[in-house]
Structure 1
């Protein structure tokens, strides 16, 4: 019995315009991963319903995420780019996993507690079951690795729990059908159908904060457009937003320790480091002691150099929605081949006629 073939799965939810934090924290890492792994990149439009049921522009938002993938450098021919709802296996396997997962597991998910708040009785069942669908997204393709941020680590652990329980509950049928794959559980070798997916953590993700308030994360939902760099902003808009970014009156510190208690300075140094692919220490070594009136124009020029080609390509792609739709259809067809194979096996294991 051979080991699982390495496969990376990751998805982005189409809720609002993508901003700089999404690019630096996720999409740029996706582009790097495709050089070393087989990858499936999904626009998770089913997940979007847990945040808001009725969307005015879900189609455009879905196309925007796909455009960002492609404009950033993801190759949709070499890898798979598609939208989740186009492959029925996601919802089908999610239902099975709803029956595998335990209510106690779901109630422990901190993201559900945060998003549901005090009015948990009015939260949708979809919000509670969100991690089960996420597990299905990954395991439908028997994904072995997922790039995750801090907010999704617990969900990936739950996906592993679901895979382990399925493998254990159906161990005899998996073996009888010859569908088991050898894997390690701790120090023990076992056979199972679904892999215990591993997180891909490639260094700390840059924490990109608001340009108007360095104590808050940059967000596409912030009412002030000046608080964020949208991935569709043109070069003049990018430069203007950095020039207007909030700062304190003191010059940049000459040591990393000097950034403590200065959230706006810390944020701009972190953004510069991430865009330049340098360390924060490098940035401080070069610009420490300078006024923000010197530093912000340099940061703005760097941001325009890195981001404007991506935003221009996104705008070009978004002007031709039929082309994006064709890419998504092709990706969905290729994803569905893998998904149907998995669902055929799962139905055999469970005992569906």
Structure 2
């Protein structure tokens, strides 16, 4: 890893199909930032087992996630890409951080409360402990910056608090990471039929979600059905016009055009024509992404080689932090 660049960490679970929200919030930025940072990209499979997984599908999802990374422009010669469970130091640091985190801090995590309601029959300790493992992921690599979606800000804030606590107790042993959200509006893409909640791959209504591997007809249908309002005026107002505001966020994020410019562009545009333009902006991205994805998906040996090399490189960095902490703890 180049000494002149700071370290950027980011991770995504291989828990199923990735969404347009995942792409806009994080993945679309990875290609550009890898020239500015030493980037470490993790496929967070340990986080994914807080819910039961089918073994074969799970293993395929891991490789498919890597294929999507590559299709999105992540270069394994520039960045470290690895599977979380293949670097055991994540679990080692997780236990150390458990012993430096308070119950009251975890009970306040909003995602735990939300996910507990979604699946009340499987409120396991892993789900409760999830933010500490995430903190371990980040602190293990002395990450200067963490690229996350809006919904993960609270977890990174906890990681920062734990890092400061460790440094207070033992000296400068870990880096206190900064949060990086490249696009404040685009980092939080909302559900198409219920634009007051985040677009999530776990949503029971698939019409709320655009998946990165949705075909042409599916994208057209989902955007056509997306909720708007009745006054047929296009401007950004998340309180009174959440549906239109969400579509503006999507269009702005995918085209790189500011929302204020779009409001002027679409002042005389009907909702129907606006939705057609949003649909086309999505398809322009997804069809190219899908072509590259299926190219990489069929190269399993190549994908496995990338992960093997990535795990080896990640492990070298991780061991430095573990050794430093073992020394100050007397382990």
Normalization by structure 2: what TM-score? 0.89
Q: Give 1:317 shift.
A: 1.9
Give the secondary structure class of the aligned counterpart of 2:99: helix
2:53 is matched with 54
The answer (yes or no) to whether the contact 1:251–1:289 under 8 Å persists in 2 is no
Q: Which whole-Å deviations, capped at 9, do the CAs of 1:247-270 have from their partners, x for residues lacking one?
A: 4454333x445x752333222222
Give the secondary structure class of the aligned counterpart of 1:100: coil
Give the secondary structure class of the aligned counterpart of 1:202: coil
Q: Give 1:235 shift.
A: 3.6
* Residue from 166, 189, 195 that aligns with 1:208: 189
Rounded Cα–Cα distance in structure 1 between residues aligned with 2:156 and 2:192? 31
Q: What are the within-5 Å matches in structure 2 for residues 28-39 of structure 1?
A: 28-39=28-39
| Structure 2 residue 233 is matched with structure 1 residue 234 | no
| Higher gyration radius (CA) | 1
**How many corresponding residue pairs?**
327
The answer (yes or no) to whether the contact 1:4–1:195 under 8 Å persists in 2 is no
Rounded Cα–Cα distance in structure 2 between residues aligned with 1:31 and 1:140? 23
- Assess, with a 3 A threshold, how the Cα gap between structure 1 residues 239 and 108 changes in structure 2: closer, same or farther: closer
| Structure 2 residue 143 is matched with structure 1 residue 143 | yes
Rounded Cα–Cα distance in structure 2 between residues aligned with 1:59 and 1:350? 36
Q: Give 1:233 shift.
A: 2.3
1:195 is matched with 175
2:77 is matched with 77
Q: Which whole-Å deviations, capped at 9, do the CAs of 1:153-200 have from their partners, x for residues lacking one?
A: 2222222222222223334xxxxxxxxxxxxxxxxxxxx111111112
1:181 is matched with none
List 4+ stretches of structure 1 deviating above 6 A.
118-122
| Structure 2 residue 13 is matched with structure 1 residue 13 | yes
2:198 is matched with 217
What are structure 1's unaligned runs of at least 5 residues?
172-191
Q: Which whole-Å deviations, capped at 9, do the CAs of 1:260-314 have from their partners, x for residues lacking one?
A: 5233322222211111111122222112222233222222222221221112211
RMSD: 2.6
What are structure 2's unaligned runs of at least 5 residues?
none
- Assess, with a 3 A threshold, how the Cα gap between structure 1 residues 212 and 105 changes in structure 2: closer, same or farther: closer
* Residue from 217, 225, 244 that aligns with 1:265: 244
